[in-house]
Amino acid sequence: MTPVRAPAWIRVVIGALGAASFALGLACFLMPARLFGPDAYRTLARLPIGLLGAVTIGVALGTARALRNGNVDAVRTVAVTMLGAAILVPPVVTFNIGAFDNLTSGTRSFAVAALVVAFVSVPLLLSLRVLKRLYRAADPRASRP
């Protein structure tokens, strides 16, 4: 089976999300107080922020490698991983905002969750759907039940 390259628009979407996840990871490590307020350095809040940073930087590095290769299998694997990481973002942000900013926590938490769903999860799900079709078209064994 010859490797099939992912379409350019999918590589652009996943590349942009990978760059955004790298920026988020760096922000979690370098300036958590700017993201989550001055209480971000407390022990319980610092741990999930650091874990979020580590996950997003790891996903970004994997994304760069997969996009360099460009075949459907690698890009599909990265898209699934990014979707898993996107699932982690709203709970971590909601916990940190809710714990330290009681006045506006509901509005900010809802806004962050809505933005992650609209600009991360939906493009990833659309990309995964197209990548799955391309994978099945390239490998006749994959279409068997």
| pLDDT tens-digit series, residues 102-122 | 545 567 667 777 888 888 888
Number of independent structural domains in the chain: 1
- The residues, any chain, with a CB within 8 Å of residue 88's CB and separated by 6 or more, are 52, 55
Single-letter residue type at 27: A
Q: Is residue 45 over pLDDT 80?
A: no
Cα separation, 110 vs 112, whole angstroms? 6
Tokens of 73: 């299998």
Residue 71, H or E segment: none
3-class DSSP state for residue 77?
helix
- The confidence score (pLDDT) of residue 54 equals 85
Contact 6, 71 (CB under 8 A): yes
pTM, to two decimals: 0.73
- The confidence score (pLDDT) of residue 71 equals 86
10 Å Cβ neighbour count for 84? 12
Whether residue 142 is contained in a domain is answered as: no
Whether residue 140 is contained in a domain is answered as: no
Whether residue 2 is contained in a domain is answered as: no
Q: Is residue 143 over pLDDT 70?
A: no
Q: Is residue 55 over pLDDT 60?
A: yes
Whether residue 120 is contained in a domain is answered as: yes
10 Å Cβ neighbour count for 95? 17
Whether residue 39 is contained in a domain is answered as: yes
Whether residue 3 is contained in a domain is answered as: no
As a whole number, mean pLDDT of residues 74-89 equals 83
Whether residue 88 is contained in a domain is answered as: yes
Tokens of 40: 């971000």
Whether residue 141 is contained in a domain is answered as: no
Percent of the chain with pLDDT over 90: 2
Domain holding 29, by residue range, is 8-135
- The confidence score (pLDDT) of residue 76 equals 87
